Amino acid sequence: MHADFEAVIGLEVHVQLLTATKAFCRCSTVYGASPNTNTCPVCLGHPGCLPVLNNNVVEYTLRMGLATNCNIRPVSTFSRKNYFYPDLPKGYQISQYEDPICYDGHVEIEHDGAKKKIGITRIHMEEDAGKSIHDLDIDTLVDLNRSGVPLIEIVSEPDIRTPQEAYKYLAHIRQTVMYLGICDGNMEEGSLRCDANVSVRPKGDNKLYTRTEVKNLNSFRNVEKALEYEIQRQIELTKSGGEVRQITLQWDAGKQQTREMRTKEKAHDYRYFPEPDLVPVNVSEAWIHRVKHELPELPGAKRDRFKNQYGLPEYDAAVLVEEKSLAAYFEECCEFLAEKSKDRFKLVSNWVMTDVMRIMSDKKIEAQETGVQPRLLAELVDLFAADVISSKIAKEIFPDVLKGESPKEIVEKRGLAQVSDTGMIDELVINFLKENQDKVAEYKAGRTNLFGFMVGTVLKATQGKGNPRLVTETLKKHLEQA
């Protein structure tokens, strides 16, 4: 990016709500059903059919509004947004316009170690359109299963300054909707869709310059890439004396460039007008109060608690709260520890972040499905922390723990308990030093890095069962006397 310019970015995020039925009819919202099977006269747009608002759409929107510190409008209305497209059977989309249900909120993201507030202009409810499928052999086909599926649109203030911040913001939104249980967060399936508005201006200027809008970015990576490209394009255009036009662009991931779609429609082109078939949405104080009360602990709060309660480093806490189910898994493991100490919590965190998460990503499953039972992982950590087994043995028996075997029993059955018998280790060390006097001489002459080799050799003589700390101490003691 150019040093004299800064970017101004505002995101519009569409979130598909996880309600069982559509926004204004009783059709199922399940993804992947055979085309046009989840439809009825209402979502097919037959004349004379009346929409009835699904209460859960409001409930879910309130969750998001409250989780993002928005004000809630006690009375809000729906409007018709008129445009013509084959996948929009009514010829208009039911949306909210002048009085969105949620407004003036904010979220806090963390970037480069600093916290930053991003304003939320509004969150409104609307319905999704159907899907056009462009089949080269036949023609364009339309699937209306998605028609009428509830969405919320979350509009940010133009507070974002870099593509990386945009990425963080989007990640924050995705994490929040998933914690709230209102969206599955699946960007590939279109459950979360993002349009990015971007302009550039000379650094220090507070004015808003003409923006472009990049539509339908279907991955985090694409949002970042498209913004980088578009910012660069606008800066170069401006510097060469050109002028940014207000256009709508599409990101071409193959060519890694933005491409113009169509001149941006002016708002009045949609000929918004109040939806006469729906009554206003009333949200009582009591309703807001209940939803607020029932909000789950959100990622930021959970991360702070993990740092305080378990003494975890920032990094561990952030990784573990990434997904609600992973955080719950970690806590369950800690519950089973025989001794609750920060050292042991950190050991649990290490196991979860390495071995458990490796299985999760290999098999694309949740922590609870990996087969590593929290009770057994806690047992493993306890054995190691109490010096009963070495970390090497712990790693060795992990595959069996994964199969559901108790680490305690494995250790007993196979005699894997660590040798902490001072007499025996003393003897091994003395023997080793006697047989390797040349190494001892070299060590004394200053080749101190031989120490690691010595520890390793003695440990090998114990078949990996020797307590490394004890071996280290004993070696040190004898070397000093040698």
Site membership for ligand ADP, residue 8 (CB under 6 A): yes
Q: Which does 199 bind (CB under 5 to 8 A by kind): ligand ADP, Zn ion, none?
A: ligand ADP
Looking at residue 125, the DSSP 8-state letter turns out to be E
Specify the stretch interacting with ligand ADP by CB under 6 A; choose among 62-70, 74-82, 195-203, 328-336. Answer: 195-203
Strand ranges (E), 65-113 = 71-72, 75-76, 79-82, 92-95, 102-111
Choose among ligand ADP, Zn ion, none what residue 147 binds, the Cβ cut-off being 5 to 8 Å by kind: none
DSSP single-letter state for residue 279: P
Give me 439's structure tokens.
Answer: 């190494």
From the list ligand ADP, Zn ion, none, pick the one residue 43 interacts with, judged by a Cβ distance below 5 to 8 Å according to partner type: Zn ion
Spatial contact of 352 and 320, defined as CB atoms under 8 Å apart:
yes
Closer residue to ligand ADP in complex, CB, 211/302: 211
Contacts of 261 (CB under 8 A, 6+ apart): 215, 247, 248, 249, 250
First to last CA, the chain: 63
**Which of 2, 12, 332, 473 contacts ligand ADP by CB under 6 A?**
12
**If contact means CB under 5 to 8 A according to the sort of partner, which of Zn ion, ligand ADP, none does residue 25 touch?**
Zn ion
CB 180 within 8 A of CB 67: yes
**94 near Zn ion, judged by CB under 5 A:** no
* Shortest Å distance, C-beta 118 to Zn ion: 35
296 DSSP assignment:
P
Among 105, 76, 231, CA closest to 169: 105
Binding of ligand ADP by 203 (CB under 6 A):
no
Tell me the C-alpha distance between 144 and 120, whole Å: 31
Q: Which of 66, 152, 173, 198 binds ligand ADP (CB under 6 A)?
A: 198
Measuring CA to CA, how many Å separate 417 from each of 18, 26, 386, 388, 474?
50, 62, 11, 5, 19
Residue 441 within binding range of ligand ADP, rule CB under 6 A: no
Q: Please, which residue, 43 or 72, has the CB nearer to Zn ion?
A: 43
**Which range of residues in 196-204, 280-288, 319-327, 451-459 is near ligand ADP by CB under 6 A?**
196-204
Contact of residue 198 among Zn ion, ligand ADP, none (CB under 5-8 Å per partner type): ligand ADP
Q: Tell me which of 68, 197, 222, 258 binds ligand ADP, using CB under 6 A.
A: 197
Of 122 and 303, the one with the shorter C-beta distance to ligand ADP is: 122
Site string for ligand ADP, 245-274 (x = CB under 6 A): ----------------------x-------
Q: Does 209 bind ligand ADP (CB under 6 A)?
A: yes
Compute the residue count for the chain. Answer: 482
Question: Contact with Zn ion (CB under 5 A): which of 11, 23, 43, 223?
Answer: 43
Question: Which part of the chain contacts Zn ion (CB under 5 A), choosing from 20-28, 226-234, 240-248, 432-440?
Answer: 20-28
H helix runs in 81-162, sequence order: none
CB of 147 to Zn ion, least distance (A): 8
Q: Which of 16, 79, 93, 156 binds ligand ADP (CB under 6 A)?
A: 156
- For Zn ion (CB under 5 A), the number of binding residues is 5
The amino acid at 41: P
Q: Considering only 22-30, 106-114, 171-179, 453-461, which stretch makes contact with Zn ion by CB under 5 A?
A: 22-30
Shortest distance (Å) from residue 197 CB to ligand ADP = 3
- Under the criterion CB under 5 A, does residue 13 sit at the interface with Zn ion? no
The residue from 20, 133, 208, 301 that contacts ligand ADP (CB under 6 A) is 208
DSSP-based three-state secondary structure for 404:
coil
Instruction: CB nearer to ligand ADP: give 95 or 156.
Output: 156
Return the range that interacts with ligand ADP (CB under 6 A); candidates 10-18, 237-245, 298-306, 339-347.
10-18
Cα 290 to Cα 63, 69, 284, 287, 458, distances in angstroms: 10, 15, 10, 5, 64
Q: How far is the CB of 314 from Zn ion (least distance, A)?
A: 47
In the numeric block, the tokens 């649109």 are attached to 153
Q: Which is nearer to Zn ion, 42 or 154 (CB)?
A: 42
Q: Which listed range, 39-47, 100-108, 273-281, 282-290, lies at the site for Zn ion (CB under 5 A)?
A: 39-47
Is residue 192 within 8 Å of residue 73, measured between CB atoms? no
For the bound state, the minimum distance from the C-beta of residue 185 to ligand ADP, rounded and expressed in Å, comes to 20
Q: Is 155 in the site for ligand ADP (CB under 6 A)?
A: yes
Question: Tokens standing for 177?
Answer: 């909707």
Show Cβ contacts of residue 413 under 8 Å, excluding neighbours closer than 6 positions. none
Do 475 and 454 form a contact (C-beta atoms < 8 A)? yes
Gap between the Cα atoms of 230 and 47, Å rounded? 43
Class of residue 451 by CB neighbours under 10 A (exposed 0-12, middle 13-18, buried 19+): middle
Nearest distance in Å: CB 13, ligand ADP: 9
In this structure, which long-range contacts are made by residues 189-193, counting pairs with CB atoms below 8 Å and at least 24 apart in sequence? 189/31, 190/16, 190/218, 191/15, 191/16, 192/13, 192/14, 192/15, 192/16, 193/13, 193/14, 193/217, 193/218
Binding site for ligand ADP (CB under 6 A): 8-12, 155-158, 197-199, 208-209, 211, 267
Binding site for Zn ion (CB under 5 A): 25, 27, 40, 42-43
